[in-house]
Amino acid sequence: MTDTNLTDTDLKVVSITDRLKPVSRNPKPRNEREPEELPPLIEALVVSTCFITGGALEVTDTCVRLVGWETLPIIEGGAGERRVITRIAMSTDTARDLMAGLRSALAKGGH
């Protein structure tokens, strides 16, 4: 198994959230952090990119769960189906950060 070091350029990153970080006695606000202060982003396992055609969210006080699916066509008189292809869970704070980044990217024409 080899680690692949990824950069923001490789991922075409428009927003980064970083909720799981060591606690510092004097943390800097996110907008004042230097890029080199973030740990390297690696992909130790090959993770497929899933294109979903639909999804559902479950939101609790502390967690957001996303289930994504693809819709398969009806074949020879059978029923079509929606096949779950990804499940993601995150803290509500991380979900808020991702939503803010998504809103910003889409507003700038990043779609």
What is the reported pTM? 0.58
- Model confidence at 97: pLDDT above 70: yes
2 confidence band (pLDDT: 50, 70, 90): very low
Q: Which of 64, 67, 55, 66 is nearest to 94 (CA)?
A: 64
12 confidence band (pLDDT: 50, 70, 90): low
Q: Strand ranges (DSSP E) for the chain?
A: 4-6, 41-43, 54-59, 63-72, 81-91
- pLDDT tens sequence across 36-54: 566 777 888 887 888 999 9
One-letter amino acid at 92 equals T
- pLDDT tens sequence across 16-30: 555 544 444 555 666
Q: Which residues, including other chains, have CB under 8 Å from residue 8's CB and lie 6 or more apart?
A: 16
